[in-house]
Amino acid sequence: MAKLLPRRDAVIIGLGWTGSIIAQQLAQAGLNVVAIERGPWRDTPTDFNIGYMQDELRYGIRKELFLQPAVEAMTMRNDASQTALPMRDYGSFLPGNGVGGAGVHWNGHTWRFWDSDFSIRSHLTRRYGAKKIAGLQLQDWGATYAELEHCFDRFEYLAGISGKAGNLRGRIQPGGNPFESPRARDYPNPPMKMSYAPTLFAQKARELGWHPFPTPSANLSRSYVNPLGVRMGQCTYCGFCERFACANYSKASPQTCVLPVLMRQPNFELRSECEVLTVNLTPDGKAAKSVTYIDAKGVEYEQPGDMVVLCAYGLMNVRLMLLSKIGRQYDPVSGKGTVGRNYCYQTSSAARLFFDSGKTFNPFIAAGSLGQTLDDFNGDAFDHSALGFVGGAGFNCVLTNGRPIGYRPTAPGSPRWGAKWKQAVVDGYQHSTGFSSQGSSYPVRQNYLDLDPTYSDRHGRPLLRVTFDFPDNDIAMSHHMSDQMEKLAKVYGAKVATVSRLKKGWDSVPYQSTHNTGGAVMGADPKTSAVNKYLQSWDVPNVFVVGASAFAHNAGMNPTGTVGALAFWAAEAITTKYIKSPGALVPA
């Protein structure tokens, strides 16, 4: 029998970016808030100490900051004809674990999805006709970019993003991204100082008439105090961002932006190392009454709450909804149901260039978002009329690291052992560079999430099953991107240049991207979306589900900036609308 605890105004599940933002906003509005986090407490001075944080073996290879399959695994398959098998180790993507979540170990690319993304079906139909997107399950998001713009702004100023505006209130700005949607003001900090690799990338891109600009970065270009009064430091270009926490207080994360204020709120409580098993509903299934969780000692508790906010990693949000019977499971055969619908990933390719000793890149001078990007081929920035696909990709030259274990580029045909291999490593380390495309992932009926009928976790609950393969549309898009990358690689005049090409058959073993999206998508129609425009469950109105799980598709950009904006958007709806009049904010 679970121990019954005193009721709280709000129960938040997960304390990463979304959980910390919403907890801070709700506590500031006077609500009694409790956050329940499965992983351990983590803080910069005690857990990310400068004396040991740059330990590549511990964090980069052995993945100490990440979720382990023994805690929660998933099964995967490429299509419904296959039997899904468990991922014995997380490879293709790396969910975070502990307070801060994936916001601890991310690189820091911080994008705004475009206006056309939020109305993607309407936009593409209007420009190309409905036939162009036949076979894709694209849908509008229910909220518009114009509605969300101030929330993007709030997240960028909370995180101290370094960048250069390209479109200020409709006026294109020199040096910024000319394809971005209008913003009300510039980034809070100027762009990072560029190293040689991204500087050369920008030079070569301009030779082709393209439009490179500094990558918007959560690695701070200067010291900064955010609107909560939290002081952050300037990036030291150490090259330990992805897979690592920042010991220098210079990479935006919940620890460096929100928690120093949130943890002091008298009406907020964190319970770490406590795993939520289910959200308990009333007998009619129309309201959440409590959550059941188990602590590190195995003691089971029931925490009642007036509202429940799911703020876990996107895939975990979907699984918890399915386990708790919040909404109807999506059926790819009939197309009915919404929970698990429109699962999307990221569609990427890469170029690697090798030079003689005349070009030295010093890859150890690095940061997670130190780079240049071009969006000439992203989204619908270019005309798709004569092309057999929709969607696109950003091209990024971002020098994230030159770490000794993981960074050993060698030219094709190099020996794989011995003295000549060692020399190839030396040559490749200093005299090679690269860039990549990060492409959109568009939904199709047969890519979805559900509960596995065979495999269960240590508590006896079914694992989440991922059914996914790259759609034909996205393969064609990615090949077009590779064609453009080959044009750019040729301009470099490298001794050797390689450009990868995406193939059918998603493989969950090699790392690709942690940008999983969808499964609890937002929208205006309860028949095709699990949550409304405010991230509120259509079926259980006192449940909000916040994160990349709400994305109706994935754009050719990192999701975190849009996730942060949606967190502020949902928090604003809760504090200005819901708590004044609890119930559905949008009529079903």
Task: Check if the beta carbon of residue 553 is closer than 8 Å to that of residue 120.
Answer: yes
User: Other CB atoms closer than 10 Å to residue 53's CB: what's the count?
Assistant: 18
Burial of 295 (C-beta count, 10 Å sphere; 0-12/13-18/19+): middle
From 105, 123, 211, 515, active-site residue = 515
Nearest CA-CA partner of 434 in 404, 403, 409:
409
> Hey, CA dihedral for 473, 478, 479, 481, is it positive or negative?
positive
Token pair for 337: 């149901």
Rg (CA), the chain: 23
Helix (H) or strand (E) holding 442: none
Burial letters 410-439, b for 16+ CB under 10 A, else e: bbeebeeeeeeeeebeebbbebbbbbbbbb
Residues 6+ apart with CB under 8 A from 231: 223, 224, 225, 249
Nearest CA-CA partner of 9 in 476, 508, 462, 542:
542
Please indicate whether residue 515 is annotated as part of the active site: yes
Strand-pair category, 33-36 with 268-271:
parallel
Bridge-partner residues for 96, per DSSP?
66
Catalytic residues: 515
